[in-house]
Structure 1
């Protein structure tokens, strides 16, 4: 028996052990979960990629250094 089948069987046994008046609540909750999953999938499908403008300022100078010591003075900051 696969893991999914085992978990399904355990869930069915738990549901069957409930009083009959709770079955409607279980059914409502399952319906809620199905609707929420469908909405989440729909939102995930609709997500658009962000299209930020790209501004090119050309190539960086070859001698550009981004080391802190080269950008700031040695006055202790």
Structure 2
């Protein structure tokens, strides 16, 4: 989902900056293949995670959540 949203926003060849020292979420390890993508979603204000300092990367995304991501990513009304 993170890759889909960010590439839809920035173009198909987009890659996020390196993850750095922390992902910002307790349940997203630095060595996860999606770590930099998740961190960039948060940096752009597209997600704040699922609560408690977590992102919940193994949880399914429902329609309402995806709609929220798209509204935030593209600045939709």
TM tier, smaller? under 0.3
| Higher RCO (C-alpha 8 Å, min separation 6) | 2
Indicate the structure (1 or 2) with the bigger Cα radius of gyration: 1
- TM-score normalised by L of structure 2: 0.28
Q: Which structure: greater helix fraction?
A: 1
